[in-house]
Amino acid sequence: MKVFWLICSLLTAGAAWAHGEAAHGDKSKPVVMEQKPWGIAAAPDSVMRTIEVTMDDRMRFSPEAIAVRAGEQIRFRVHNTGKIQHEMVLGSREELIAHAKLMQRFPNMEHEEPYMVHVAPGASAEMYWTFNRSGSFEFACLLPGHFEAGMTGSLVVGN
């Protein structure tokens, strides 16, 4: 029963189901501009800087630490050099842990948010984000087993 209410709350909070490859990165859909503790979606034409991020099957990101200034609008160009799918999700440590646990319970859960990008093996994708709040945050791959294997990085937003 607890799982039922969790799923209902996710659906009513605007979550959609999608961890497959079909709908991810579909830039023809309007971006939901929802303020999060770590920022808000950015328009592609407003980016100030591009940060290249590589993911691989060693369950690591490169770079493992990213620093940005408050107010920066960033294009993350994310490359998957591995042979399996990976993702990059921005968030607070607490939110990422909760999402990773949910992914363990529902590995085929599908969803798409502006603070995440799913990248097929050998492919690249982009994510646009405005860091309008200072603080220490993280990024991670939340596919089952990846987060637990240490596929995380630190994200510091300074003044």
148 Ramachandran zone, left/alpha/beta (phi>0; psi -120 to 50): alpha
- Rounded to two decimals, the pTM is 0.81
User: How confident is the model over 91-115, as pLDDT tens digits?
Assistant: 999 999 999 999 988 888 777 899 9
How confident is the model at residue 82, as a pLDDT? 97
Mean pLDDT of the 122-133 span: 97
- What are the backbone dihedrals phi and psi of residue 6, each rounded to the nearest 5 degrees, phi first? -65, -45
Residue 141 CA to residue 129 CA, distance in Å, equals 17
Residue 23's pLDDT band, with cuts at 50, 70 and 90, is very low
Instruction: Measure the CA–CA gap between 112 and 97, rounded to whole angstroms.
Output: 17
Under 8 Å between Cβ of 153 and 65: yes
Listed range (7-11, 68-72, 91-95, 135-139) with the worst mean pLDDT: 7-11
DSSP string for 69-88: ETT-EEEEEEEE-SSS-EEE
C-alpha distances (whole Å) from 9 to each of 3, 23, 40, 88 are 10, 22, 22, 24
| Residue 14 pLDDT exceeds 80 | no
